[in-house]
Structure 1
Amino acid sequence: MDLSPLSMRFRPHARFPQLLGGLLLYGASLALMVRGDLGLSPWSVLDQGISERLGVSMGMASAVVGVAVLLSWLPLRQRPGVGTIANVLLIAVAVDATLALLPPVEGLGVRVPLLIAGIVLNALATATYVGARLGPGPRDGLMTGLHARTGWSVRLVRTSIEVCVLAAGWLLGGTAGLGTVLYAVAIGPLTQTCLRFTAVRVKKDLCP
């Protein structure tokens, strides 16, 4: 029996723990940024705005947004995977659980480290669940679906979506600020670096 690291990575059961761990860490990272209260990622600004307007938890708002985005996949002919459904459910649970365990804090000496830790953990978590290759998250699928249907560059599609989401979230009362800018600048390079260590190799990767 071949027990080499590469052969182990071909086994689906070895990828589920990576997916689940990444999603739970992702939800926790969002909660850290909420407690930092210096600005959230664009989608989290929207989630927080909806949370405040509807009087529901931020995790519940995140799940509602995730389902709504999934419905937008229908005309884009995107197909969800197990990771897509898990994304909606587990991130919502992790956000609420972490917020319940971590009370609000005061003072920049605590809030700034929480923000930075949240952004770094978010990058690691993103690379972890994306690297498992078990289906894109609803928001990622919206981006790739629009890219495929419109022919616009991924960068343009992602930027357009996040600007609209950020504006809507801010108008609803979500927190946008320095942390939002720092997230936008840092998340791409950090995630790319983490993917070098978390991306699962599959057999097609070995084809010449």
Structure 2
Amino acid sequence: MRAGRRPARRAPAGVGRGARLVAGLVLYAASIALLVHPQLGSMPWDVLGQGVARVSGWTFGTATVVISLVVLVCWVPLRQRPGVGTVANVLVIGALVDPFLALAALLPEPLPLAVRGAMVVLGIALNAVATALYVGARLGPGPRDGLMTGLVARTGGPVRLVRSVIEVVVVAAGWALGGTVGLGTLAYALAIGPLVHVLLPRLTVPADG
């Protein structure tokens, strides 16, 4: 190293993790819009969000925030502790999903089925990247993730079974309230696990970073 030249300073580890968290949550909100707008079936929790919005007259974003808060209340008997990422999950996604849906609504209608299908595929892929980013930031689980892990810890059941039961109940309730269930819902259920499994190790912040 040349005399008088100072070594470059590294950004604090928390900054990098926070940036990953925010990027993941922004992309997550965008992925919701890509899956909801084509009306080919939404993610399980968004089926419930659509149903609640339809019955209550709230916007989809408001319904999403309310559901997240109710889920957080369910954390109490499960002895789950929220983190910064948990709070950010509620606030960032809740604030951005309505604007993203408004942008999607600017697309010409009716959209060809091929375009709607492409939006669903893109939405699933983007959701997997977003999930790996915000989970990999290690700043706290989202409300729904914490509910699943809390139930796994309390019941001793396998993760896959507990998650499946939660999502079946959520989809059934959302469909009964008027949410959209379709091929997009099924495609998401089949694809998201394998995609996140591949992406999460690559996008997780190292324990020392």
Question: How does the TM-score come out when normalised to structure 2?
Answer: 0.91
Q: Name the larger-Rg structure.
A: 2
1:126 is aligned to 2:128: no
Partners of 1:25 and 1:94 within 8 A in 2 = no
Match of 1:111 in 2: 116
1:164 is aligned to 2:169: yes
CA distance in 1, matches of 2:96, 2:136: 19
CA distance in 2, matches of 1:196, 1:156: 22
1:96 is aligned to 2:98: yes
Give the drift of 1:196.
2.9
CA distance in 2, matches of 1:155, 1:122: 19
CA distance in 2, matches of 1:138, 1:74: 12
Percent of pairs identical after alignment?
54
Give the drift of 1:116.
0.7
CA distance in 2, matches of 1:180, 1:171: 15
Higher helix proportion: 1
1:22 is aligned to 2:24: yes
CA distance in 1, matches of 2:149, 2:160: 10
Give the drift of 1:170.
0.3
CA distance in 2, matches of 1:72, 1:2: 49
What runs of 5+ residues in structure 2 fail to find an aligned partner? 1-5
CA distance in 2, matches of 1:2, 1:202: 24
2:82 aligned residue (80, 83, 87): 80
Q: Secondary structure at the match of 1:36?
A: coil
Q: Deviations over 1:132-171 (max 9, x none)?
A: 0000000000000011111111111111100000000000
Q: Look up the equivalent residue of 2:183 and give its one-letter code.
A: L
1:31 is aligned to 2:33: yes
Q: CA RMSD in A?
A: 1.8
Q: Secondary structure at the match of 2:37?
A: helix
Distance 1:114 1:151, change over 3 A: same
Give the drift of 1:93.
1.6
Matched residue count = 201
Q: Secondary structure at the match of 2:205?
A: coil
CA distance in 1, matches of 2:90, 2:99: 15
Give the drift of 1:3.
6.4
CA distance in 1, matches of 2:8, 2:163: 40
CA distance in 1, matches of 2:130, 2:8: 26
